[in-house]
Structure 1
Amino acid sequence: MDISEPVRLGQYRLPDGRDLAWAEWGPEDGTPVLLCPGAATSRRLGFGTGAVDALGIRLISVDRPGVGASDPAPGRTLDSFAADIAGLRRDILGTAELAAVGYSAGGPFALACAAAGVAARAAVVAGADEFASSHDGLPEDLRAMVELAAADPAAAERSFAEFGSAEALWQLITSCSPPVDLAVYRSPEFEPVFRQALAEGFAQGPAGYARDTLLAMSRWPFAVADVRTPVDLWYGGLDTSPSHSPDHGTTLAGRLPSARHHLVPDAGGALLWTHAEPILRTLLGADH
């Protein structure tokens, strides 16, 4: 499990005057890989940071609008996030192809980049499915969130904001995690970094987290079946968080024509950190 402080930090000024905050690891001339972090987790928490130099990967983690140090964008969508990343790619990366990896609640954002053609390859790791497309198998509390998001999006967003705080999210994550994940989350080298990333994620308040959650719980603005970009789906067989995927990505894999489904039997939801190198290798187009 490799985590370390970012090598570089910066801000990208978008055409509308907003700033998008980013962090980087690895060589500046490496293959660019965009990290879409989990819910309300700031850009400072990377993954596989001990492997990126050897793999020649430039890992770029971006705070979504209203989260961490990125300026808010009221009414933003999954599509508008992909447009933001398209600008960053054009102005900072030039002609280099971009791969995207979305962890947990970041999964829909990585898929949005793939659907828009911004990312040439994508990975979803313990990612949320499009729960609004099917209620089958959803636990009651998750089903209620999806139904509220469909019936009254504004009320749902307010509800998510009322819940949202760094401590509440930490308690939710650890209460839903199996022992294999708790061993990661509560380890002395990981817990303080993770909790700091959550605190930074809520630095502007809960609005960014609430918007992210609404977008994940609502119908996505693109058809998953139309995504032709190669997508690797990674799930841990021991993961017990239904908000990742009640069926460990099987339904999502069936809807994505270009998907490769990796189910790691002895891993949990923290496989972004426990299996970082094989995930990164697939983003380079290499088999694990």
Structure 2
Amino acid sequence: MALHVIDPFRIGTEQLPGGRLLGWAEWGPEDGVPVLLSPGAATSRYLGFGADVLDGLGVRLISVDRPGLGASSPLPGRTFGDFADDLRAFAGLRGLGRPLMVGNSQGAPFALACAAAGTVGALAVVSGADEVAEPRFADTLPDDLRGLVELAVFDPDAAEKIFGGFTARAMWDLVMSGSPACDLAVYRQPEFATAYRRALDEAFAQGATAGYARDTVLAMGRWDIELTAIAVPVDLWYGEKDTGHSPDHGEGLAARIPGAVRHLVPEAGGSLLWTHAEQVLTTLLGHAPVS
């Protein structure tokens, strides 16, 4: 399927309490329903989704760079809770109230932290990275991944040094070599590939240690997120052919979140955010408060 991937309509930064900057990019109508995006691994605010449906749905999509990625100031030693605090401050500065949110791939646990903190009003997790350090996954992970997970749990500083050696090119090669054909058909489309490569370059502009490495240690380690405390609607979306984000396609993750609904999409892969944008957003909008 052909995708419509376009540059952001509006970009900028907000200064948080304490002086750090948080970079953002927007698509869709300025008066639309605010939907925050926590992007996937090592991608900046530049890569959005659903460009061809945002106007029709009345969605104002706002992608936010996590600390140390893109235009956002680094925050050494940050936690999931720090990100939820950042997003609460950001929403206040932009007058967003309690916005809806989408968390994609490695951005998923950061979005779940926002849901647990009550920062957002509802959440869609799309091809979300699972808590692979959970003991129930120990026997299902490939040996190389299991080794990295154990390092992230027991020696996070050493793990962060390893991930600090990653580059934008290395991330591109990793994704291209490990994705099924249904995803490569998306990622290799010229419009998408150009936007994705730019988002990777921007995300690594401050170096991997400032952003990607800390993100990955947090995502691969044990999560300090009270999933059972989440009191907002959560939908989890996984493609049937996606083997890279959750060993059980989010089944166990959904069971840990009160009231969560899991959607398993046939014949789809990890590129679900782009191939099924309208379905994801329409379901999320169904959780928006009636004005």
TM-score normalised over the length of structure 2: 0.94
Secondary structure at the residue paired with 1:122?
strand
Secondary structure at the residue paired with 1:234?
strand
Deviations 1:213-242 (A, max 9, x none): 01101221222222222111000001132x
Whether contact under 8 Å (2:118, 2:231) holds in the other structure is no
Residue 276 of structure 2 corresponds to which residue in structure 1? 275
> 2:150, 2:105 → 1: CA distance?
20
> 1:161, 1:210 → 2: CA distance?
5
> 2:134, 2:231 → 1: CA distance?
19
The CA deviation at 1:132 is 2.0
> 2:62, 2:85 → 1: CA distance?
16
Whether contact under 8 Å (2:4, 2:191) holds in the other structure is no
> 1:41, 1:209 → 2: CA distance?
9
> 1:139, 1:227 → 2: CA distance?
31
Residue 103 of structure 2 corresponds to which residue in structure 1? 102
Please identify, of 132-141 and 122-131, the stretch whose mean Cα deviation from structure 2 is larger.
132-141
Q: 1:32 aligns with which of 31, 34, 57?
A: 34
Residue 119 of structure 1 corresponds to which residue in structure 2? 120
Residue 72 of structure 2 corresponds to which residue in structure 1? 70
> 1:41, 1:74 → 2: CA distance?
19
* Residue 148 (1) aligns with residue 151 (2): yes
* Residue 238 (1) aligns with residue 241 (2): yes
> 1:145, 1:22 → 2: CA distance?
31
* Residue 188 (1) aligns with residue 190 (2): yes
Secondary structure at the residue paired with 1:65?
coil
Alignment gaps of 5+ in structure 2: none
Identity of aligned residues (%): 59
> 1:251, 1:3 → 2: CA distance?
32
> 1:237, 1:81 → 2: CA distance?
30
Residue 253 of structure 2 corresponds to which residue in structure 1? 252
Residue 132 of structure 2 corresponds to which residue in structure 1? 131
> 2:10, 2:160 → 1: CA distance?
33
Please identify, of 219-228 and 150-159, the stretch whose mean Cα deviation from structure 2 is larger.
219-228
After TM superposition, which residue ranges in structure 1, 4 or more long, deviate above 4 angstroms?
Answer: none
Alignment gaps of 5+ in structure 1: none
Query: Cα RMSD between the aligned structures?
Result: 1.3
Deviations 1:50-106 (A, max 9, x none): 211111111000011100111111111110001000001112124x33111111000
Residue 17 of structure 1 corresponds to which residue in structure 2? 19
Whether contact under 8 Å (1:227, 1:258) holds in the other structure is no
Structure 2 letter corresponding to 1:9? I
Residue 212 of structure 2 corresponds to which residue in structure 1? 209
Secondary structure at the residue paired with 1:131?
coil
Whether contact under 8 Å (2:112, 2:225) holds in the other structure is no
What is the number of equivalent residue pairs in this alignment? Answer: 283
> 1:25, 1:81 → 2: CA distance?
22
Whether contact under 8 Å (1:22, 1:62) holds in the other structure is yes
> 1:64, 1:78 → 2: CA distance?
11
Whether contact under 8 Å (1:176, 1:240) holds in the other structure is no
Residue 5 of structure 2 corresponds to which residue in structure 1? 3
> 2:92, 2:70 → 1: CA distance?
23
> 1:63, 1:28 → 2: CA distance?
19
Structure 2 letter corresponding to 1:273? W
Deviations 1:122-156 (A, max 9, x none): 01111111122223422222221111111111111
Q: 2:230 aligns with which of 202, 221, 227?
A: 227
